[in-house]
Amino acid sequence: MTSTTKLKVLGINIETIKLLLQVIIFISIAGASISSRLFSVIRFESIIHEFDPWFNFRATKYLVNHSFYDFLNWFDDRTWYPLGRVTGGTLYPGLMVTSGVIWHTLRDWFGLPIDIRNICVLLAPAFSGLTAIFTYFLTTEMKDSNAGLLAAIFMGIAPGYISRSVAGSYDNEAIAITLLMATFYFWIKSMKIGSVFYGTLTALFYFYMVSAWGGYVFITNLIPLHVFVLLLMGRYNHKLYTAYNTWYAIGTLASMQIPFVGFLPIRSNDHMAALGVFGLIQLVAFGDYIKSRIPEKQFKTFLTVSMILIAGLGIGGLIGLTALGWIAPWTGRFYSLWDTSYAKIHIPIIASVSEHQPTAWPAFFFDTSMLIWLFPVGVYLCFQDLKDEHLFVIIYGVLCSYFAGVMVRLMLTLTPIICVSAAIAISKLFDVYLDLSEFWHSSSSTRTKLFTGLSKLLVLSSFTYYLFFFVYHCTWVTSNAYSSPSVVLASKNPDGSPAIIDDYREAYYWLRMNTAEDAKVMSWWDYGYQIGGMADRTTLVDNNTWNNTHIATVGKAMCSSEEVAYDILKQHDVDYVLIIFGGVIGFSGDDINKFLWMIRISEGIWPDEIHERDYFTERGEYRVDGQAPKAMQESLMYKMSYYRFHELFMGRDAVDRVRNQQIPIQNAPELSVLDEVFTSTNWIVRIYKVKDADNLGRDLKKASAFGKNSKKTRIAKKPKIDLRE
Amino acid sequence: MKFSIFSVLSILALFNVVIGAYTNQELLDQVKKASTKVLTLTDKNYEKYLNGPRDYHVVMLLSSQSPQFKCPLCNEFKPEYELVANSWNQDHPNGVNGDNEKDIFFFYSEFMNSKDFFQKLKLNNIPKCFYLPPSTISAKDGWVTETDEYQFFQGQHATLIIDWLRSVTEHKFNLHVPINYTRIAVNAGITFGVLVLAFIFNKQVMKVLTSKTLWTGAAIFLILLFNAGYMFNQIRQMPYVREHPDGRVDYWVQGQQAQLGFETQLVSFIYGILSLLVLLLIKQVPKIQHPQVKLIAATLVSVSLFLGYSLLLNFFGLKSPGYPFRFVKFVK
């Protein structure tokens, strides 16, 4: 090679400038992705969002207050009363351990005693910066560093990923997507160069991923599928063999160290693809070896015979093992991914979770903006090159498009590949149109230069405009749709000034300060984690939903009459019942709207006692007004929701603002087994205390009827919100 | 022929009204003779069958296959009901032979032939499925008070019916789904045929299977389809367009969590066009040698891209009213 003169700008080596620029760009990308996730912290405060994060937060607090081993052995007697939950063995500890490590590092090594809550709140934004960097590396493997930088910024601000990683959304996905990208990057790297070192790194990140999120199964299936397709295309080589075996052997052994995963990797069908491909690649390697030793004709015979033998053995073995019960049947969640009607019929609790709903097209556009139509272009370009790593993009893209369409929450796993493909497309376009070399050393006329320059300018400027617009779109979506903590509701006063509805925290704080420390609070499972985290009281059911029967019990108590419900409440030592009611301010996510799920779930367990049909009118309508059916009006939930509701309307018919129905005054419910103890400012949270059995042995209905008659006038005073002495 | 049997039956029925209900054995004989194991109730014979005293369980489906009702549930339910009846009969061809156990007989009534019967039960919607326990009441129409109604639910009707019957009759039920031999034979034939064809034309088949264009097309087609909410339509069974009674037709519905079948087509089409235009810019336009033509081509493609994207934004804005961004406002 001839020695090339090194290009210099202002006396500095061009490579140095390139590196400097890259570093600056990276810092900017990280800055952009972190800062766009801080809307909620700035608008509200540093607070944990939604439901699941409250559990993770509580678990993290437990981890930093106790030792790691205590955490793994944690038996939580403050949830699922009276059963309790083997929390240490049924959670993915990756998230908590990560924050725990950060907390300890900052405190012990840097002398920075930061509140664990702030670490939890800001963990997701911090990891989003890392995600951008890993996306850069992955895309660089696919095309070049130009595409990599574009993918990094796309990934940094795409709403599809932000939806799960804003500050305060302290959930498993917050770190899982980072680990997903890291695992995939190291996989591509190890597959390309056949390195045991990178294979081991892949396995280690896979292990981290397994410890952090149940979605690791996605990796467990995608990598084998990639290998399988490569084998089908006859692209077997020793590099692939090295990479896959290193990952599979170390990764599987490592993943089995997580208590919750245990022996699943060799028993559950979710993991069978990986095992199958592991076996297949050994056979292919063996076949490859034989082929290099014997003549072609003999090899053909050898191939046919062994194919038939293996297919027979494999299918027979699979059937046999399943029949013997050695390998677990397909899990319910897996079924709902393929056959969506399965879940609806057999597992109402799966159907009741909104995250399992299918995705309509606006959600795709909302979450990725223009990247969604650049995505097919990127896939097309991958087909043009079709190297081993491009196949990965294609398989990932097609497969995840399907999954994201079936389940709205899997948009999260689709977003990275959309970013990568779109970045490939845009950077290819820029490669073509930013190539200005012909202006310097070509012999073409000025006229030609002018026209070519104009066409390039046009295309470039329009795409620059689109990119700017993309930033606007993402910021708008993040700010408007994904930054509300949902613990605190934002609203507007009549004059347009912002108002904050803080009923949840008001009520949870009341519970924390005014009730006995060992009080048992019954509520629908949605609020279990929040009650545990914010009010620190024992709950019957929570968002973990591991015991369907227990949830159905709570559902039954809510939807049966006072007498039936009272027995259930007493059997479960319930002291307080908490419900969410939106009828006063028109908050649609309240318990009456979730009521049908309570009925359905409890009907699944007690088909003789609860009938969904009874809660509908003759004409099959769901009504709460004067025409509401008897079962509805007598249910504990109905009574608790509308108890004293009419007092707000001065004795006239009350209007439910969510369902836009009038509740006649003669339908005003009476409660005899519960006492109202707290109702929040906007009536969103109402808390009732379960009465003790009557002193004179009367049933509570008679007792309260007697009490009412003797008093004549009822004192209607608002319950105290003061602190407990 | 048909008429004569019918008239004979009806005369018999008229004759029997005086005597009272059938005995268990008579019904068993009827079931044995009948081709389907579900007996038919009409205006002419229902009193004979239902008026007590009865020594057997009665299960009856009141429904209609007539197209004028547009009743999908009726069509869905009847075969499953018959399946349960046939399964019961297969297990008990000669009735149950226990001492305390009573036989079960299945009936079906078509609205077009039994309007009075339906009137008697004051039905205003179909399908309805009732159960009548063995009874000693011998008064006319005494059975009306004894009906126990089946609640329709989502799910496998046959198993739901069985669950219900098990609870009311306390009999054990098995479900025997008849094996459809023709279907197995046809499937086997097709598989065999395909394999043979694949073997004969293996060169051509391999050519197709290894064709990059085909796979590219398929992958991009699938991506466009899924990203435009195709699975949503499949799962929710959304209609293609929504027709109003007054003849107006909605091609789209508002809301981010809702869509119609037509929207998927439109949106995937727009995505496809936009992708194609970008590909033109990347692959085709740079190949043009003539500078003026190149400029014209680049302008054309860029402008179309811009218009296409604004169209998408406008449509998206219609779906989610709060969305503030448009390039060109096509609609308010």
Contact between chains at B295 and A454 (C-beta distance less than 8 A): yes
Q: How far is B245 from chain A (nearest CA, A)?
A: 21
Instruction: Using alpha carbons, select from A412, A416, A398, A380 the residue that is nearest to residue A229.
Output: A398
B224 and chain A in contact, CB less than 8 A: yes
Q: In chain A, positions 328-387, which contact chain B (CB-CB < 8 Å)?
A: 340-341, 344-345, 357-366, 370, 372-377, 379-381, 383, 386
Nearest Cβ partner of A375 from B223, B264, B322?
B223
Q: In chain B, positions 4-33, which contact chain A (CB-CB < 8 Å)?
A: none
Residues from chain B contacting residue A425 (CB–CB below 8 Å): 278, 282
Phi, psi dihedrals of residue A603, rounded to the nearest 5°: -65, -30
Phi, psi dihedrals of residue B170, rounded to the nearest 5°: 60, 30
Copy the structure tokens of residue B149. 């109604």
User: Rounded mean pLDDT of chain B?
Assistant: 82
Contact between chains at B227 and A452 (C-beta distance less than 8 A): no
Contact between chains at A466 and B309 (C-beta distance less than 8 A): yes
Length of chain A: 725
Q: How many C-beta atoms surround the C-beta of residue B297 within 10 A? A: 19
- Residue in chain A closest to B217 (alpha carbons) equals A380
Are A146 and A435 a contacting pair, CB within 8 Å? no
Residues from chain B contacting residue A386 (CB–CB below 8 Å): 212
Mutate to test the interface with B, among A229, A336, A342, A373 (most CBs of B within 10 A): A373
Residues from chain A contacting residue B232 (CB–CB below 8 Å): 358-361, 405
Residues from chain B contacting residue A363 (CB–CB below 8 Å): 229, 256-257
Contact between chains at B220 and A376 (C-beta distance less than 8 A): yes
- Residue in chain A closest to B274 (alpha carbons) equals A373
Nearest Cβ partner of B256 from A345, A360, A373?
A360
Q: What is the pLDDT of residue A469?
A: 94
Domain A507-711, architecture per CATH? 3-Layer(aba) Sandwich (3.40)
Q: How far is A402 from chain B (nearest CA, A)?
A: 6
Copy the structure tokens of residue A131. 């995600």
Contact between chains at B227 and A401 (C-beta distance less than 8 A): yes
Nearest Cβ partner of A364 from B227, B278, B309?
B227
Contact between chains at A359 and B306 (C-beta distance less than 8 A): no
Domain boundaries, chain A: 8-65+93-268+340-426, 507-711
Name the CATH topology of B2-169.
Glutaredoxin (3.40.30)
Report the Cα B214 to chain-centroid distance in Å: 34
Are A161 and A131 a contacting pair, CB within 8 Å? yes
Q: In chain A, positions 31-60, which contact chain B (CB-CB < 8 Å)?
A: none
Instruction: Using alpha carbons, select from A119, A86, A81, A121 the residue that is nearest to residue A101.
Output: A119
Residues from chain A contacting residue B256 (CB–CB below 8 Å): 360, 362-363, 366
Residues from chain B contacting residue A393 (CB–CB below 8 Å): none
Residues from chain A contacting residue B258 (CB–CB below 8 Å): 360
Give residue for tokens 């001492």: B99
Between CA B317 and CA B328 the distance in angstroms is 12
Q: How far is B226 from chain A (nearest CA, A)?
A: 6
Listed in sequence order, the residues at least 6 apart from A353 whose beta carbon sits closer than 8 Å to its beta carbon are: none
Give residue for tokens 């062994």: A306
- Return the number of CB contacts < 8 Å for A and B: 162
Mutate to test the interface with A, among B122, B148, B224, B226 (most CBs of A within 10 A): B226
Between CA A153 and CA A136 the distance in angstroms is 9
Nearest Cβ partner of B324 from A364, A397, A476?
A476
Contact between chains at A362 and B259 (C-beta distance less than 8 A): yes
Contact between chains at A363 and B256 (C-beta distance less than 8 A): yes
Amino acid letter for position B224: L
Virtual CA dihedral for A379, A384, A385, A389, nearest 10 degrees?
30
Q: What is the pLDDT of residue A324?
A: 73
Domain boundaries, chain B: 2-169, 211-319
ipTM score of complex = 0.84
Between CA A328 and CA A334 the distance in angstroms is 12
For residue A147, give the 3-state DSSP assignment. Answer: helix
- Strands laid side by side in the B104-110 sheet: B38-41, B104-110, B57-63, B128-132, B148-149
Nearest Cβ partner of A360 from B222, B232, B234?
B232
**Residues in chain A, pLDDT under 70:** 1-6, 9, 325-355, 441-443, 707-725
**Residues in chain B, pLDDT under 50:** 1-3, 12, 14-19
Q: What is the pLDDT of residue B16?
A: 47
